[in-house]
């Protein structure tokens, strides 16, 4: 095996990564391990490629400073060779990472869902996103400013919402990239301005973006009118053009937006859509509207509403909507200001059975639960029976933490396996800290708090993700 060529931070935006290139005399496959500083913090990845004599190894999960990386080369006849590399990365973190204090108070690594190569990613409202291991050590970050969106897609790449320049006021540059920082595709957005913003450009994409099975994108957008955060668009992956617009004002009662009190700047944020998720079972979109304390499902092709869950009394809805309302079972909470609605895998092959997950901020914005509003926030899982039109709460965590973990805005819940959930209490103590907790059922197995963030740099969402996706294949010649 020839001496490897090592390029740290190969694309200049991901300092804790490296590209290692070398040749072997015989065709082989490669596995690498970034050696951790304590138990269960090593990161091991099998490089996805055919047997070859030419090897391009994308190394992700390095520490700041000195690293030991072990390469294991397996030849077609089953024999192996190993080589150890010393890789040094920058020791100077960006100031917005230096300023953020990371304190891990619990890390039961045997019960955490971390596998061989997973880190906890902190997707911030602004500034640099980053990822930590179970000890709280930063093992990846992007030097790009990111707003809200760092979304994995089918090929192991990421959709990242950034800026053309760090000094720009708006985030209108959507990149398809990877953890090394290599850019594969770029979308630039610009909205026509409304009458009330003085001609200033606005951020078009604002909270969420997803990939459809055909690789087209669905994004939550501002359309440039006085009504904000109430529109979605479908974007062609082939051409980058918008192929469909979904305006929620055309789907919901007129009074919801015409009678909603506008903000001081004149923009009417009556719905405040903060998430979108695709259900391939019936080609529908699940969406969350914070300012209506409402979640709903709509058919992507016809725009027809399939169901609505809201604390708004049935008698106050126009007649044509009442058959679409889900009825909660006893003990099922009313969501308030919720975030991060997503669909869980179907566990019984029943088309009328849906399991969903969200982060319930539990703030009564317009139709939330007034009795409990502001007392706690929680991750919540529900089961929906679309034949009976009922919704039943099947798991929740956060109520026992009380007001200490109440978050009026932002937050996320991710289901990691059958029993483990990762919950982002992102706006703890009015944004002075973000508290990310992993639970096994109701038992905490990981607890990390981030304090002293820069302005608006609290954790919008926290994900547990593999740093080398099973569908990712790096090729420098692509």
Domain boundaries, the chain: 5-88, 95-466
DSSP string over 195-239? TTTTT----SEEEEEEE-TTS-EEEEE--SSSB-S-EEEEE-TTT
Dist. CA 281–CA 351, nearest whole Å:
8
Dist. CA 65–CA 57, nearest whole Å:
20
Dist. CA 89–CA 63, nearest whole Å:
7
Question: Which has the closest alpha carbon to 360: 329, 339, 381, 375?
Answer: 339
Write down the mean pLDDT value for the chain. 94
For residue 158, the cross-strand partners are 152, 177
Q: Give the CA distances from residue 456 to residues 69, 148, 221, 431, in Å, rounded to whole numbers and listed in that order.
A: 35, 11, 20, 8
Using a 10 angstrom Cβ sphere, with 0-12 exposed, 13-18 middle and 19 or more buried, the burial of residue 309 is buried
> What are 57-94's pLDDT values in tens digits?
999 999 999 999 999 999 999 999 999 999 999 999 99
pLDDT of residue 168: 86
- Domain 95-466, second-level architecture: 6 Propeller (2.120)
Q: Which two tokens stand for residue 42?
A: 């090593």
Q: Are 292 and 275 in contact (CB under 8 A)?
A: no
Identify the three-state secondary structure at position 174: strand
Identify the three-state secondary structure at position 429: helix
Q: Are 427 and 409 in contact (CB under 8 A)?
A: yes
Q: Give the CA distances from residue 72 to residues 116, 178, 258, 354, 457, in Å, rounded to whole numbers and listed in that order.
A: 15, 23, 64, 44, 39
pLDDT of residue 190: 79
* Confidence band, pLDDT 50/70/90 cuts, at residue 192: low
pLDDT of residue 454: 81
Dist. CA 158–CA 175, nearest whole Å:
8
> What are 431-443's pLDDT values in tens digits?
999 999 999 999 9
Question: Which has the closest alpha carbon to 287: 340, 348, 345?
Answer: 340
Question: Which has the closest alpha carbon to 176: 156, 190, 191?
Answer: 156
Domain 5-88 has CATH 1.10.10.10: no
Q: Are 24 and 53 in contact (CB under 8 A)?
A: yes
* Phi, psi angles (nearest 5°) of residue 446: -150, 135
Is the model more confident about 233 or about 202? Answer: 233
pLDDT of residue 199: 52
- Does the model's pTM come out above 0.85? yes
420-428 and 412-415 beta bridge pairing: antiparallel
Cα–chain-centroid distance for residue 20? 29
* Confidence band, pLDDT 50/70/90 cuts, at residue 191: low
């Amino acid at each position: 095996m020839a001496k490897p060529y090592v390029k740290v931070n190969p694309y200049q935006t991901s300092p804790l990564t490296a590209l290692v290139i070398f040749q072997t005399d015989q065709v082989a496959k490669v596995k690498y391990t970034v050696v951790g500083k304590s138990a269960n913090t090593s990161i091991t990845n099998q490089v996805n490629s055919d047997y070859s004599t030419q090897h391009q190894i994308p190394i992700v999960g390095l520490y700041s400073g000195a690293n030991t990386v072990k390469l294991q080369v397996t030849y077609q006849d089953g024999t192996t060779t190993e080589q150890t590399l010393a890789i040094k990365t920058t020791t100077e973190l960006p100031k917005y990472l230096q300023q953020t204090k990371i304190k891990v108070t619990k890390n039961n690594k045997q019960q955490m869902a971390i596998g061989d190569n997973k880190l906890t990613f902190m997707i911030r409202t602004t500034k640099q996103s980053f990822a930590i291991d179970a000890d709280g050590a930063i093992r990846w970050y992007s030097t790009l400013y990111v707003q809200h969106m760092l979304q994995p897609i089918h090929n192991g790449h990421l959709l990242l919402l950034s800026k053309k320049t760090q000094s720009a006021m708006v985030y209108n540059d959507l990149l398809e990239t990877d953890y090394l920082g290599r850019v594969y595709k770029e979308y630039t957005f610009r909205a026509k301005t409304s009458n009330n913003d003085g001609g200033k450009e606005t951020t078009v994409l604002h909270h969420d973006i997803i990939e459809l099975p055909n690789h087209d994108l669905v994004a939550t957008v501002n359309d440039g009118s006085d009504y904000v955060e109430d529109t979605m668009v479908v974007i062609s992956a082939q051409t980058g053009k918008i192929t469909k617009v979904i305006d929620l004002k055309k789907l919901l009662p007129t009074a919801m937006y015409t009678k909603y009190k506008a903000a001081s700047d004149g923009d009417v944020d009556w719905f405040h859509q903060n998430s979108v998720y695709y259900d391939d079972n019936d080609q529908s979109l699940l969406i969350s509207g914070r300012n209506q304390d409402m979640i709903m499902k709509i058919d992507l092709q016809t725009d027809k509403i399939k169901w609505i869950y809201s604390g708004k009394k049935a008698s106050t809805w126009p007649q044509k909507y009442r058959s679409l309302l889900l009825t909660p079972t006893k003990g099922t909470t009313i969501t308030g200001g919720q975030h991060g609605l997503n669909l869980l895998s179907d566990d019984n092959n029943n088309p009328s059975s849906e399991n969903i997950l969200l982060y319930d901020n539990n703030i009564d914005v317009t139709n939330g639960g007034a009795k409990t509003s502001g007392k706690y926030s929680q991750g919540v899982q529900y089961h929906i029976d679309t034949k009976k039109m009922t919704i039943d709460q099947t798991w929740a965590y956060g109520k026992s933490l009380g007001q200490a973990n109440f978050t009026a805005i932002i937050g996320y819940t991710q289901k990691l396996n059958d029993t483990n959930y990762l919950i982002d209490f992102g706006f703890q103590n009015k944004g002075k800290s973000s508290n990310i907790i992993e639970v096994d059922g109701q038992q905490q197995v990981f607890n990390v708090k981030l304090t002293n963030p820069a302005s608006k740099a609290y954790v919008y969402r926290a994900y547990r993700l593999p740093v080398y996706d099973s569908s990712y294949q790096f090729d420098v010649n692509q």
